[in-house]
Amino acid sequence: MWARLRTWVTGNRTEPLDPTRTDLVIVVASFDDAEACSTALERGADGTPRWTEDAEAVLRHHLELPIAAVDEAIALAGQDGYVRVPATGGPSDPEPADRVSLILQRVQVLDALHCAQEKSRMASLAQRLGGDAHGWDALQPGTAD
């Protein structure tokens, strides 16, 4: 956050992260409801590829919803800047015929507090619409460490 404020004050604006970049890689993920975002982010900071704390990331939430609730979920999440992206891969068990995997993403600087807030928000959204939030991951440009 301080890096963004410093950039704003000094006028050295950088381009926002383009979520369609082809060099984005998963730098941190958590699909365990009991795992704290801070723990996942610590793991990401120590891992390879490495999560970069001060850089923007593409935060993706993986949901499973009834087909009839997908449009409402997209509209509600869209109010906070989330967009739907095509689901890649999927759960090991096939989806029931009346449910669909949904990935919602937005670009943001990721920290433990905001990650936990968004994780909770998506779990609440999924529950209200009769679905499940399976977890989240974050992507940043791959680096040659």
Domains of the chain, earliest start first: 16-141 (3.30.70.970)
Return mean pLDDT, the chain. Answer: 89
For residues 138 and 44, give the distance between their C-alpha atoms in angstroms, rounded to a whole number.
9
Query: Is residue 94's pLDDT more than 90?
Result: no
Q: How far apart are the first and last CA of the chain?
A: 24
pTM: 0.84
Please list the alpha-helical segments (H only) found in 14-88.
37-46, 70-78
Q: What is the pLDDT of residue 55?
A: 95
Q: Specify the long-range contacts of residues 35-40, CB closer than 8 Å, at least 24 apart.
A: 36/112, 36/116, 37/112, 37/115, 37/116, 37/119, 38/112, 38/116, 40/115
